[in-house]
C-alpha cells in the first residue's frame, strides 16, 4: 500500500559532480552538486542561485564537470559544507557552511589544465566533461516549497576526458568498471551500497524545508530570496 509523504528533499538517487568554475581572480572554485542529468552531449545543472558557482557560470560561461566515483567520498565530504563566497549567505550559515578560497588544497585534490575552458579539471576524478553555458533559467520560482532561489543551467559539453582503465573499444565507458558516487537522500552511495557518513547530512533535513515551519518558515524564505536579489 502506498501512502502520502512530504519529505524535506527529493534526492531520489542522483549522481555527484564536482563542478569547476573560474573565479574573478583566475582561481578555480570547486563545488559538489547532485542535481544533474544528461541528454546527448548536453546536461542540466540545478544550482543554488546565490552560490559562487552560479555567479561564475553567469560571468564566465564555462565549467568542468568532474564526475565523482566511489573513490572520491572523502574529497566530496571535505567540500560539502563550503562556499567560495567570502560572505556566506544566511541560509548556508544555518546549514553550517563556511567560506573557503582554496578548495583544491582543502580537499587534497590536484588541478589539471583543460583543453577548451579555463577552470581546472580534478585529477582524482575518473571522468571530466568540459562545457560551456548555453542558457540559465530561473527554477521553481512558483514552488512554495523551494526554500532558496535556484537556477537550472544548461551546459553544452565540448570535450570528455576519461581514465583509460575505464574504457573498452576506444571511447566506450565500461559500466562494470565505472562506479559513480550517488547522493541518495543526503547519504553517499555507490552501486554496491552505502559508503559511509555524509557531511551534508550533519544538519537536520528539515532545515532544507522552511515551508514546514509555518509562518516562521515563510518569513525565512522571504529573507533568503530578498538576500539573493540584493
- Where along the chain do its domains lie? 12-229
In this prediction, residue 211 carries a pLDDT of 58
Superfamily the domain 12-229 falls into? Electron Transport, Fmn-binding Protein; Chain A (2.30.110.10)
Q: Which three cell numbers stand for residue 53?
A: 558557482
Please name which of 13, 18, 74, 29 lies closest in space to residue 199, comparing C-alpha atoms.
Answer: 74
The pLDDT > 70 percentage for the chain reads 85
* Phi/psi at 199 (5° precision): -65, -25
Contacts of 193 (CB under 8 A, 6+ apart): none
Using CA atoms, how far apart are residues 13 and 145, in angstroms rounded to an integer?
Answer: 20
In this prediction the pTM is 0.86
3-state secondary structure of 210: helix
Using CA atoms, how far apart are residues 192 and 138, in angstroms rounded to an integer?
Answer: 36
Q: Tell me the pLDDT of the chain averaged across its residues.
A: 89
Q: Is the pLDDT of residue 184 over 80?
A: yes
State the pLDDT confidence band at 214, using cuts at 50, 70 and 90: low
Contacts of 124 (CB under 8 A, 6+ apart): 71, 72, 75, 109, 110
Q: Is the pLDDT of residue 208 over 60?
A: no
Instruction: Give the mean pLDDT of 112-116.
Output: 98
In this prediction, residue 192 carries a pLDDT of 81
Q: Is the pLDDT of residue 118 over 60?
A: yes
Residue whose C-alpha cell reads 572520491 in the numeric block = 72
What is the DSSP code (8-state) at residue 49? T
In this prediction, residue 230 carries a pLDDT of 57
- For 148-152, 189-193, 197-201, which range has the lowest pLDDT when averaged over its residues? 197-201
In this prediction, residue 224 carries a pLDDT of 62
State the pLDDT confidence band at 225, using cuts at 50, 70 and 90: low
Contacts of 148 (CB under 8 A, 6+ apart): 48, 49, 50, 89, 91, 221, 224, 225, 228
**Cross-strand partners of 45:** 36, 153
Instruction: Give the mean pLDDT of 164-192.
Output: 92
Element (H, E) at 152: strand 150-162
Asked if residues 148 and 207 have their Cβ atoms less than 8 Å apart, the reply is no
Q: Is the pLDDT of residue 222 over 80?
A: no
Amino acid at each position: 500500500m502506498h501512502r502520502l509523504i512530504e519529505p524535506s528533499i527529493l534526492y531520489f538517487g542522483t549522481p555527484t559532480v564536482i563542478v569547476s568554475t573560474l573565479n574573478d581572480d583566475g582561481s578555480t572554485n570547486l563545488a559538489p552538486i547532485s542535481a544533474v542529468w544528461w541528454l546527448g552531449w548536453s546536461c542540466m545543472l540545478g544550482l543554488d542561485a546565490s552560490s559562487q558557482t552560479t555567479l561564475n557560470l553567469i560571468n564566465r560561461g564555462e565549467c568542468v564537470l568532474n564526475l565523482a566515483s566511489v573513490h572520491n567520498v572523502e574529497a566530496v565530504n571535505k567540500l560539502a559544507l563550503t562556499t567560495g563566497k567570502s560572505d556566506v549567505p544566511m541560509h548556508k550559515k544555518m546549514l553550517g557552511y563556511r567560506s573557503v578560497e582554496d578548495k583544491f588544497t582543502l580537499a587534497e585534490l590536484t588541478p589539471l589544465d583543460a583543453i577548451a575552458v579555463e577552470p581546472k579539471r580534478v585529477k582524482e576524478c575518473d571522468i571530466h566533461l568540459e562545457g560551456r553555458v548555453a542558457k540559465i533559467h530561473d527554477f521553481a520560482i512558483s514552488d512554495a516549497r523551494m526554500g532558496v532561489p535556484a537556477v537550472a543551467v544548461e551546459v553544452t559539453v565540448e570535450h570528455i576526458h576519461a581514465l583509460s582503465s575505464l574504457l573498452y573499444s576506444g571511447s566506450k565507458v565500461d559500466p562494470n568498471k565505472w562506479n559513480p558516487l550517488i547522493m541518495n537522500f543526503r547519504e553517499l552511495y555507490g552501486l554496491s551500497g552505502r559508503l559511509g557518513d555524509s557531511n551534508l547530512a550533519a544538519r537536520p533535513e528539515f532545515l532544507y524545508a522552511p515551508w514546514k515551519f509555518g509562518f516562521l518558515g515563510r518569513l525565512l524564505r522571504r529573507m533568503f530570496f530578498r538576500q539573493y536579489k540584493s
